[in-house]
Structure 1
Amino acid sequence: MLRRSQRTSRRLPRRAAIGRRSFTSTLRALEMLADAGAQVSVHVVDLDSGEPVLSGDDHVTMPIAGLGVVPLLIEVAAGFESGSLDPLEIIERNSVDPVSSSGLWRHLRAPALPLSDLAVLAATAGDPIAVNALLQRVGHERVRERSDALGLVSTALLDRFRDKRGPDDAPQVAVGSAREISGLFSALVNSAVVDAAVSAQVSEWLSLNQDLSLVAASTGLDPFAHDHDAHGLLFINKTGRDRGVRAESGVLAGPRSGVAYTLIVCFDDLSITHRLRAHDAFRVLGVELMEYTH
């Protein structure tokens, strides 16, 4: 498992907006994780000013698991918009190597689905077979080219989902830096990713995400219906989970302000206590993001 490097063995760097909350509880929770041996990276940027209001080791490239699917979704949406991909093209499930560790499609009776439905499954449930089907159809090369065009240097989708990773496989599904991914989410809601239509499509898919158990647990949103909140809360997010890896990035906008955020934690998953301590840090960040935006 990843631990803090020599360079990051000091306490977590801190920076907070003057005149606003300083995210002291979040910093305390993250420093406790870092002192316990976890590797932590966080970046929160104000959508109005473009200035970071919280950052710590946000340039470090770390495993991000399913959060790395976002560049793939962007390439799929761009293909739909340009006409190079047909949203109704049918993909057979048995044309993709099975993944039995998680996902919804493996439980469905439908043996085939259109690309547009696979994108929804990938965004809302992180379905590994749907992701692998999209990646197989689009190809790694196009995703890499799209990432380069977006200016992503530290963020990459390295491999498909697998039940087991062998010595010849990439060690992680995806890697990324908190600073880059927060910038990508900020660009999405500002219609600056490829074009307005592609940004809107990807944002719509991400607004349907049903994993609200980490940062989003503090929003009080309905996991199954939160794209049109009665209180005017704008929220999109994507999470990533693997053994000893938790990551979340999103956009939260309330009546006072809006932010794009990313938190990545790599920890020794030795017990449920270790895991819950990591999850608690995400929820503390969620509480302070709600206070910042409301």
Structure 2
Amino acid sequence: MRVGPLPEPSLPPLSQRRSRRRPKRLPKRAAIDRRSFDSAERTLRQLAASGAQVSVHIIDLDSGVDVFTGDDHVSLPVAGIGVVPLLIEVAAMIDQGTLDPLEIVERAELDPVTTSGLWRHLHAPALPIADLAVLAAAAGDPLAVNALLDRVGHERVRNRLASLGLRRTALLDRVRDHRGPDDAPNLAVGSTREIASLFAAIVNSTAVNPAVSAQVAEWLSLNHDLSLVASALGLDPFAHENDSHGLLFINKTGRDRGIRSEAGVLAGPRAGIAYALSICFDDLSIQHRLRAHEACRVLGTDLMEYVY
């Protein structure tokens, strides 16, 4: 089967996509008056005071200015967000012609992962690389992630991160049901500064090249997990590619015991932002977990007020 380049990007540049949402923005002064992350800052400070580790970084896409940051240089576990650099390398290899998007991967050749995922419930015993990328982006499917990682290899992902200038972000391991003493303690780690910058590069078509950026953005736009920061946006988890109110949104979440993280891009008629939030906490009770989720939602509310 012939290895071909990526299809033409189905997502136009950010500037074109945003121009379709509203014919005119409000004056910048009016927008600035309403731009505040006071609620998020207060909530995240309270969460940190309770013993959680919190890192946040938000970039204004128009100006490139950092508008809200906190401990953004610290590398924390980010769980499933580590899939993003893997998807970038998969898209880059397809674009280079070194990976066939229709190459078939057999599920039986993979080590089982039973804690989550969709593919293990499907009757299809084998899927092409392109479909595995969709499953990894949309549902964080562990078998799909491991299949892509087996095909691409950790070294390529590490080299890709280095070429993108990310020094504090790494995909450390494959997805596992249980982590033993010889396994990496976490799937992935990263600093919110680097991760937010990576998402800004994706929507601004500078993550490798425009074709690769557009393909990764398209995959990420299918993500169904809107339960953390995105819970405040009122989007349909299963169909938010073309929001009727003109919001542009892509995201990826990461979750494990005591880990809640999310990164993405949100753009509305007033502004566009790239954001990343990581929270590591002692998951001792449902209250501890709900406090982390509430902090995510408060940040999402402030993000919505900033862009809309």
For this structure pair, what is the TM-score category when the shorter chain's length is used for normalisation? over 0.9
Distance 2:216 2:141 in 1: 16
Distance 1:104 1:116 in 2: 16
| Runs of 4 or more above 6 Å deviation | none
2:258 paired residue among 237, 244, 262: 244
Aligned position for 2:75? 61
The amino acid of 1:253's aligned partner reads A
Identity %: 72
Secondary structure at the counterpart of residue 224 of structure 1: coil
Q: Which runs of 5+ in 1 are unaligned?
A: 1-16
The amino acid of 2:134's aligned partner reads V
Distance 2:32 2:221 in 1: 30
Distance 1:159 1:227 in 2: 30
Distance 2:179 2:194 in 1: 26
Check if 1:190 corresponds to 2:204. yes
Matches within 5 A, 1:93-104: 93-104=107-118
Check if 1:230 corresponds to 2:247. no
Check if 1:178 corresponds to 2:207. no
**Cα offset, 1:246, TM superposition:** 0.4
Distance 2:297 2:223 in 1: 17
Q: Deviations over 1:67-102 (max 9, x none)?
A: 011000000000111110000000001111110010
**Cα offset, 1:22, TM superposition:** 2.7
Cα pair 2:36 2:306 within 8 Å, conserved: no
Aligned position for 1:165? 179
Distance 2:302 2:166 in 1: 28
Q: Deviations over 1:153-187 (max 9, x none)?
A: 00000000000111111010000000000000000
Check if 1:33 corresponds to 2:47. yes
Aligned position for 2:298? 284
Aligned position for 1:105? 119
Structure 2-normalised TM-score? 0.89
The amino acid of 2:216's aligned partner reads V
Distance 1:22 1:232 in 2: 21
**Cα offset, 1:28, TM superposition:** 1.1
Distance 1:94 1:265 in 2: 35
Secondary structure at the counterpart of residue 237 of structure 2: coil
Aligned position for 1:265? 279
Secondary structure at the counterpart of residue 51 of structure 2: coil
1:255 paired residue among 247, 251, 269: 269
Aligned position for 1:140? 154
The amino acid of 1:112's aligned partner reads A
Aligned position for 1:87? 101
Higher relative contact order (CA 8 A, sep 6+): 2
Distance 1:113 1:168 in 2: 30
Check if 1:124 corresponds to 2:138. yes
Structure 1-normalised TM-score? 0.93
Q: Which runs of 5+ in 2 are unaligned?
A: 1-30
Cα pair 2:113 2:175 within 8 Å, conserved: yes
Check if 1:22 corresponds to 2:36. yes
What RMSD, in angstroms, separates the aligned Cα atoms of the two structures? 1.0
Secondary structure at the counterpart of residue 196 of structure 2: helix
The amino acid of 2:178's aligned partner reads K
Aligned position for 1:72? 86
**Cα offset, 1:232, TM superposition:** 1.2
**Cα offset, 1:230, TM superposition:** 1.1
**Cα offset, 1:219, TM superposition:** 1.0
Distance 1:50 1:18 in 2: 15
**Cα offset, 1:19, TM superposition:** 4.9
**Cα offset, 1:18, TM superposition:** 7.2
Distance 2:172 2:59 in 1: 26
Distance 1:113 1:142 in 2: 22
Q: Deviations over 1:177-205 (max 9, x none)?
A: 00000000000000000100000000000
Distance 1:47 1:272 in 2: 36
Aligned length: 278
